[in-house]
Structure 1
Amino acid sequence: MHDKRDDTAMRRRPLTKAIHRSLAVTLAFALAAPVMAQEQGASTTPADDVAAQSSITTLDNMTVTANKREENIREVAAAITVLGGQQLENFNATQMSDYASYVPGLQLQSNGTPGQTQVSMRGIAAMSPGSTVGTYLDETPVGSNSLYQQATLFSLDLFPYDIERIEVLRGPQGTLYGAGAMGGLLKYMTRKPDTSTREFRIGGGVSDTEGAGDLGTNYRVGMNLPLVQDALALRVSYARNDIAGYVDNLVDGRKDINEGEQTSARAALLWESDVVSAQFAVMRQEIDSENNGTIALDPETHEPIAGLSNYIYEDEPFIKELDHYALTVDWDLGFADFVSATSYSDTHTVITSDQTLTYGPFTALFGLPPGRASLTYALDLNQITQEFRLTSKSGQPFEWLVGTFYSDEDGDNAQTVPITQFDGSPIPGLSTLGDLAIPSTYEETAVFANGSYKFNDWFKLGAGVRFSRNEQDFAQIVSDGILLPIGTSTNDSSEDVFTWSVTPQFQLNEDVMLYAKAATGYQPGGPNVLAPGLPPVVDSSMLTSYEIGMKSAFAGNRVVLDLTAYQIDWEDIQVASQVNGISGLVNGGEATSRGIEASAVFRPVDGLTLGVNAAYNDAKIDEDFPAIIVPAGPAQVEVNTGLKNDRMPYVPDLTWSITADWFVPLGGNWSATFGGGVRWVDDRTNGTTERQIVRLLDPPTVLDEQITEPLVIDSYYAFDLYAAFSNTNWTLRAYLKNATDERAYSTMNDIVDQVTGITHHTAASPIQPRTFGVEVDYRF
């Protein structure tokens, strides 16, 4: 096998190598990023303010909407991290994987392409297609709660342009945000139109990624136009990011096969008066990738077989298109505020995966040599949501909120597994291994209430409840193939779910607040795929979380410290399983997740901010998953897809990051900000242990037992740097992601011949290779 690592090195531009080295030396003294702004009411310096705007995460002096009312983050009894829009720009964060490791408790797996991401929080792993981490865009949810839209595989991964901030809420958010937010919530808050100030912006940049033959490029434009002074304004933006490919194809020799592009377009119209405001916003985001950012590893050593290369017989394009429309009305009624939030979204996702090495050998059933095969998912989702809520005025001893929520989802899931002879010619009598359509509907209605009472200056008690009902319909339409019986089957389900939360809060003194929180969350159940050995309906997955936290500030707010400890008891876990090659779901028993999270910020001198984020998590299965029984003549096959004491998939025990930002006034209206960060992620497993027993029924005898343990993905660290020079109008930035070009992996799976059972190679998605870029922005 020819090793292409030498070829890659030869294609690297000498000038770029020199820039890499010089930038790393220049910025090595500035480890950088997560910083917290000053506590409200505390004295700050201009240097502190600018440094805070440059940090990757923010923990204080920030308004958040976690409780669906505007509050200071330091006064909210919940674990929240905020990522600001300016911070995301400094790090050139174009996808979730660029910043996830800087948020304690947030875990992310990526298949190397924006939008192909699985997100989990606090050890609540993505073990089934249903969402465990909710996503909101301003006041409305985005993404399906159905079991048939692969929500955990394709989490909303917005290209964060025109985003004001991202609020990361850790722990169950079931009472206020409902289904699918059992692990936590990602809340993207966009920039609103400004009715008083006109603004224009234009910018762009270039980047160079290790192993790529071409440069990556991007550009962006935006404007804010007051149409009627202090009454009506329009905000419009557009951004495009052309992603350079860096994976080569070992099959046909093609270079850089994983090129792609991201685009984001948004328009928002805001009308406001003294008592009423209304905003109508339209957003379209697209991701279009030619192939996955996955490489081939030796199945024994897990070393790259040929550098950044993979075996691709059939291209693996990925397309995701999101159209989102939202109308939000805020009405000041005097005694309370009324909010109506309406949304309509249309999501289209298509992904193809090469199955040649997995299912291609099925041609042997027809006396032919191994052929080519692929699997294509086409997912379409139309979603309408409506929320009405009434919120009391803030600052009163008793603060309350009541509301109602409605969601209607109409989804299609088409799956096809075409197979041909190796030269592409058809196989007589067989065109596909399977052709399956799964149309589904999900309708949910909920009522909720939340309140808190401040008994005195040091004690406050909060509580919340939510009652939800969902009804679902599902059809399984098999039109061709040999994997499933041809025909149509239908199924449906309905369920009622009650969630609650209780939050006592103690203000020990001006600088220290303690809180405790007990809360529940759920992942909806639903009708299952119809196949022998699988249950017809999957129950809701429920959890109860117990949390204790402290938010504190010392030494005139030069030291800010947040600590959180939690235990989560998870029941009726929904687990993806396979019976005779058919994927379905089962409820898989119980698990426990325990952990500690810490975030600290130090400001030793004006303009310099040092940050530390860390999370320890122990998430394990408490009992063997229920066995799936498959009849096999005089015997039966018993399959357990998870065993007691298994670690939760893709959940590291320990993660941490060390960061720093340094703001330097340069004079003449110019300033500089230097920063960077080191992030470390512990080892993980790619799944749970599978045990398969073949048992003779009469007399009862174990004929065979096989144990398949998950793969272990090694721990890694990555080092990021940036520098920015700004004045009133101009900003020039340079950044370096993964400065030492660590070859670490986000996901890992064996590619196994389904006829012989032999592993050909291990497919792994590396973290972003070393990438250097330069950006320029002009505002006027």
Structure 2
Amino acid sequence: MKNTALSVAVALAVSAPYAFAQEEKTRGSFIEEIVVTAEKREESEMTVPIAVTAFDEHKIEKLNIQTIDDLSLMTPGLEVQTHAGNNLFAMRGVGTAFSSWHANESSVAVYQNGLAVVAANVSGIDTNGFDIERIEVLRGPQNTIYGRNAMGGTINYIRKKPQSEFGADIVTELSTESGRRLGVALTGPISESVAWRLTGYTQQRDGFQKNLSRANTTYCPLGECTNKDLDDMDINTIIPQLQITRDTWSLNLSASSYDSKRRMGRNEVGPIPAGFLPEGLRWPTHIGGEGQLGSYFGWDTALPQEGAVQMNRDPIHYTEGEQFVITLDWDITDNVSIHYQRGRSDTEELRFQDRDQTDRTGTAGDPPVADDNGGYFRDRLSMTEGHYIVDQNELTLTASFGDAWNVRIGYFTLDSTRVIGSHDRHYEVGDYRTSTIDEMRALHAAGGMPGLGDTFPDVSSCSELLQQEFGQPYLTAEDNGAPAFSFGPDHPWRFRPGRLNCYGPRGTEANRFGGTDGPFGGGIINNQQNQKSWFAEVAYQVTDQWSASLGLRRIDDEKPTGALDGFNVGPARFNPFPGFIADLSEDDQEAYYEDLGIEAPIFLNTAYLEHHVLKFDQTVFNFDIEYTPDDNTFIFGRIASGYRSGGGNFRVDTQLGDFAPFYLFDEEELLTYEVGYKRYFDDYNLRIMTSAYFYDFDNFITGAAITLTPQDPWDVALEGNINYGKVEIYGFDFEFAWQVPSMENLQIFGFYAYNNGEVKEPFVLPEYTGEEGFAGYSFIGAFEGNSLPYAPKSKFNLNAEYTWPLNNGSSVSLLGVWAWTGEFEANVANNLEEQADDFSRIDLRLTWTSADERYRVSAYGQNIFDDRQIEQFEVNGFEFEDPDTGEETFIPVPEPFVSAYELWGIEARFSF
């Protein structure tokens, strides 16, 4: 396979005829330097003292970089996970998955047009690479420039700006899996100093992951039940911009509106190990019994197919977002300038997930059973809503003093809010009772609500009735209700007084989660993060060849975190209008309702938590020395510190349970040493960029799973963040671009990256002091090594493009791409059975370009050998009840999450 890959990616291009070589010696399009803003000022990628990989619009188009997965394969040190709920970005082994329950953020900062975005919910740019001027990937800590969550590095997406002349960029594409793509960007002047740009983008594609469901689910009140394939795409974006340019200042106003709908790809459930199922079967099947295997996995054995799913409820992920950015640049004098940027993003999402992961339906009963074979079965759907807001301000003053000194000072604020709501529906038990308003009407008609009067009010919901009678759409202890957790704000766990919320149709009652669409459960958690920072940098040109710079940033973090804005802990019977019934004893009240034949109305018993405010502060620095012996050579040395604030794990799992010592995790600190060498060899038309680095971590933040029941690990378990004591990471990157002198139409470029991360001081589990009688805490997993997760030791990329000039001035080029990523540990436990395999991907692209370069038509193949990349690898355990003996058996089942599918397409572009 790999020999074939090499021959496809390189040998085809190398064997092109020499006769088409150009006579004039020029640097090829992949050799040309790119101007970047890595340090928030324009400079060549060859003279910035940072390990940076930059892609201009030409490279983005040629390499077909549409998603963050594409970008990862083309970038040394960058690894991503983009599955289901939470994205993970890791740079040189530095990265922790964001979790809605934790108050932590990504270790890699992601910016769109200068505005920070929630990395957990953004897997790239909203136009999939179209109308993007540049993508910059900065490796190593960037805290002094970008703030607290740039410990591993930074990804910048920079859009094209309005132009003072009329122009257009258009892309249209058709691909396999019914893919279609259309992008249109128009620009032009309004007046001599005012220009506009309008970008529209839409892309659709059917799913890659086959859904073998044959079910016809007629009852589908929530989400969709189309049985369509998973990992599809439906994106629509519109971006207006306005640019005002005067002699000494410029103002850019940018906005965007984005919506996306996709069916999320799922983990591929692997075969059951031989010996656990009847002879000849190795896939989950319609097995009876109350264990999870029979309940949650119901494959029809006539349709086993590796990598497919079989579910009737679509795992839909809806996203809608809006963003605006205002950027002002003002040259006060020739030596003093101001940069101000104000931005805000507002994103909402809704996710549905088929929790039973089958196409079976359940019939109500105790226990519920499958309606096709009578076996035990639970038909379940989960729903999650998210609302994410980011507000950002940055003011920077830059001044130069003579030819030697440059100073930059600034102030930065970032306020983000994440509100996550979750909720389940259990279809196998049918509709959940009647709603509170229906029960109240029935009780009132029977005479059981004397305090309400003779006539039931003309209201449409219970919440409306409570608002009318009590001035609020819920009941508290002050209303003689008896909600759970009736504590005040002085409670040590910061419980607010609980409430009784009305039970009824979602969207009708004031409580958004719980109700007749779901069981008694679900709720809302609210996380906030606020940062203020002051920064300064001084650069000094010592001689023509030597320069030095020092940057400092003071970061103050405040995290009002972990507040439950409603968590339904169970049902509660309560009569809000009891009249004389309230004067009866408890036994007499029970007898009274029994005589009526109607119980008191049912309410949702809802708990609330105050925010627990966590505060962190740190000063970070970077010190750079630069040496430029000639115009083609640049050498740098860099010492930099990094910082990421700590946070808290889910408070209900810790403060209310047996995992109290794991509630908080500390801030993470880093000291790095890096040297770099960048050189253009004029005689060979060769450009190289290389760097070597060493990272020294204290309190390294990582995720872990901890249990109190090692024999049945997930019975009493916690998944959260912990701090390792000491972690070391070292490695090097080597990038090159070569226009072969003897064949000037041939360009070869790529990279090799080596990275090794080792845990020197692992986390020490505390002594268990609870009252449950457990033996103590233990990790889930064997912990057989000390390697960091999501950090392949080796990664390389090799590309070759050959261009044939045609007689009419146009040209044809063939580009081959070979990307390879080595094996890596899928989790911090280093379990051998959960090690992700290496991955190799081959792309081909044939492009015709017109003589004036305004027209380009391409045919491409992506991942042409249809290899699968494992982004996350898990081995889950399922309980199987032997139908003959009734004995419970624990079965390990591999469940990798994969990406990278074969795709072929034709693309046409037009520019003027």
User: TM-score normalized by structure 2?
Assistant: 0.72
Correspondences of 1:370-519 after superposition (within 5 Å): 370-393=377-400, 396-421=403-428, 431-432=518-519, 434-474=521-561, 475-481=563-569, 487-490=607-610, 491-519=612-640
* Number of aligned residue pairs: 706
Could you give the per-residue CA deviations for residues 385-412 of structure 1, whole angstroms, max 9, x where no partner exists? 1100012359932222110001122321
Correspondences of 1:698-777 after superposition (within 5 Å): 711-727=834-850, 728=852, 729-753=854-878, 758-759=890-891, 761-777=893-909
Q: Tell me the residue number matched to 2:93.
A: 123
- Compute the displacement of 1:251 (Å): 4.5
Q: Tell me the residue number matched to 2:818.
A: 678
Which segment is superposed worse, 738-747 or 118-127? Answer: 738-747
Instruction: Give the strand-richer structure, 1 or 2.
Output: 1
SS in structure 2 at match of 1:94: coil
Q: 1:26 to 1:679 in 2, by over 3 A?
A: closer
Correspondences of 1:284-323 after superposition (within 5 Å): 284-292=257-265, 294-298=267-271, 306-312=305-311, 314-323=313-322
* Matching residue within 217, 239, 242 for 1:269: 242
5+ residue gaps, structure 1, are 1-20, 33-43, 144-150, 691-707
- Compute the displacement of 1:227 (Å): 1.0
Correspondences of 1:248-259 after superposition (within 5 Å): 248-252=210-214, 254=227, 256-259=229-232
Whether 1:219 aligns to 2:226 is no
* Matching residue within 715, 718, 739 for 1:603: 739
- Compute the displacement of 1:165 (Å): 0.8
| In structure 1, distance between residues paired with 2:528 and 2:405 | 40
SS in structure 2 at match of 1:622: strand
| In structure 2, distance between residues paired with 1:730 and 1:400 | 45
C-alpha contact 2:878 2:893 (8 A) present in aligned 1: no
C-alpha contact 1:105 1:122 (8 A) present in aligned 2: yes
| In structure 2, distance between residues paired with 1:394 and 1:726 | 47
| In structure 1, distance between residues paired with 2:262 and 2:380 | 20
C-alpha contact 1:564 1:598 (8 A) present in aligned 2: yes
- Compute the displacement of 1:268 (Å): 0.9
| In structure 2, distance between residues paired with 1:570 and 1:364 | 54
Aligned Cα RMSD in Å?
3.5
Could you give the per-residue CA deviations for residues 71-98 of structure 1, whole angstroms, max 9, x where no partner exists? 1111111100101222222333321112
SS in structure 1 at match of 2:806: strand
Whether 1:29 aligns to 2:20 is no
| Bigger CA radius of gyration | 2
| In structure 1, distance between residues paired with 2:525 and 2:362 | 25
SS in structure 2 at match of 1:439: strand
| In structure 1, distance between residues paired with 2:899 and 2:337 | 45
**What letter is aligned with 1:489?**
L
| In structure 2, distance between residues paired with 1:442 and 1:606 | 53
Q: Tell me the residue number matched to 2:197.
A: 235
| In structure 2, distance between residues paired with 1:627 and 1:432 | 36
Q: 1:67 to 1:95 in 2, by over 3 A?
A: same
C-alpha contact 2:813 2:847 (8 A) present in aligned 1: yes
C-alpha contact 1:744 1:767 (8 A) present in aligned 2: yes
Q: Tell me the residue number matched to 1:346.
A: 346
**What letter is aligned with 1:279?**
N
Which segment is superposed worse, 750-759 or 335-344? Answer: 750-759
- Compute the displacement of 1:61 (Å): 2.1
Which segment is superposed worse, 536-545 or 731-740? Answer: 536-545
Could you give the per-residue CA deviations for residues 109-130 of structure 1, whole angstroms, max 9, x where no partner exists? 232x8x9642110111324532
**What letter is aligned with 1:544?**
L
Could you give the per-residue CA deviations for residues 391-435 of structure 1, whole angstroms, max 9, x where no partner exists? 2359932222110001122321112344342x8665999953741
| In structure 1, distance between residues paired with 2:210 and 2:890 | 24
Q: 1:616 to 1:300 in 2, by over 3 A?
A: farther
Q: Tell me the residue number matched to 1:695.
A: none
- Compute the displacement of 1:685 (Å): 1.9
**What letter is aligned with 2:140?**
G
* Matching residue within 654, 660, 667 for 2:807: 667
Could you give the per-residue CA deviations for residues 4-31 of structure 1, whole angstroms, max 9, x where no partner exists? xxxxxxxxxxxxxxxxx9xx98996138
| In structure 2, distance between residues paired with 1:497 and 1:680 | 38
SS in structure 2 at match of 1:637: coil
* Matching residue within 628, 650, 658 for 2:790: 650
Identity, in percent, stands at: 21
Q: Tell me the residue number matched to 2:136.
A: 167
**What letter is aligned with 2:620?**
T
Q: 1:169 to 1:27 in 2, by over 3 A?
A: closer
* Matching residue within 48, 51, 58 for 1:79: 51
Q: Tell me the residue number matched to 1:324.
A: 323
- Compute the displacement of 1:138 (Å): 2.7
| In structure 1, distance between residues paired with 2:384 and 2:879 | 20
Q: Tell me the residue number matched to 2:171.
A: 203
| In structure 1, distance between residues paired with 2:50 and 2:387 | 35
Q: 1:370 to 1:669 in 2, by over 3 A?
A: same
Could you give the per-residue CA deviations for residues 209-268 of structure 1, whole angstroms, max 9, x where no partner exists? xxx4xx211111111111113x11001111111122122224447452432212232111
**What letter is aligned with 1:435?**
G
**What letter is aligned with 1:413?**
I
Could you give the per-residue CA deviations for residues 517-573 of structure 1, whole angstroms, max 9, x where no partner exists? 111222222344222314443322222211111111224361212221111122223
C-alpha contact 2:115 2:344 (8 A) present in aligned 1: no
- Compute the displacement of 1:627 (Å): 1.8
| In structure 2, distance between residues paired with 1:724 and 1:685 | 38
SS in structure 2 at match of 1:89: helix
C-alpha contact 2:569 2:607 (8 A) present in aligned 1: no
SS in structure 1 at match of 2:94: coil
Q: Tell me the residue number matched to 1:41.
A: none
Whether 1:184 aligns to 2:153 is yes
Q: 1:657 to 1:606 in 2, by over 3 A?
A: same
SS in structure 1 at match of 2:190: strand
C-alpha contact 2:863 2:901 (8 A) present in aligned 1: yes
C-alpha contact 1:514 1:551 (8 A) present in aligned 2: yes
C-alpha contact 2:9 2:844 (8 A) present in aligned 1: no
| In structure 1, distance between residues paired with 2:752 and 2:252 | 38
SS in structure 2 at match of 1:589: strand
SS in structure 2 at match of 1:249: coil
- Compute the displacement of 1:374 (Å): 4.1
SS in structure 1 at match of 2:786: coil
Q: Tell me the residue number matched to 1:594.
A: 730
Q: 1:742 to 1:325 in 2, by over 3 A?
A: same
| In structure 1, distance between residues paired with 2:173 and 2:692 | 42
Correspondences of 1:144-159 after superposition (within 5 Å): 151-152=119-120, 154-158=122-126, 159=128
User: TM-score normalized by structure 1?
Assistant: 0.83
**What letter is aligned with 1:173?**
Q
C-alpha contact 1:259 1:291 (8 A) present in aligned 2: yes
Q: Tell me the residue number matched to 1:14.
A: none
| In structure 1, distance between residues paired with 2:417 and 2:384 | 17
Q: 1:650 to 1:25 in 2, by over 3 A?
A: closer
* Matching residue within 654, 664, 669 for 1:537: 664
- Compute the displacement of 1:747 (Å): 2.5
| In structure 1, distance between residues paired with 2:378 and 2:717 | 19
Could you give the per-residue CA deviations for residues 8-62 of structure 1, whole angstroms, max 9, x where no partner exists? xxxxxxxxxxxxx9xx989961389xxxxxxxxxxx998845x41xx4xx7x522
- Compute the displacement of 1:299 (Å): 5.7
| In structure 1, distance between residues paired with 2:780 and 2:675 | 33
C-alpha contact 1:748 1:765 (8 A) present in aligned 2: yes
| In structure 1, distance between residues paired with 2:564 and 2:551 | 38
Could you give the per-residue CA deviations for residues 610-667 of structure 1, whole angstroms, max 9, x where no partner exists? 1130101111222322326553533333133685843222211100011112233213
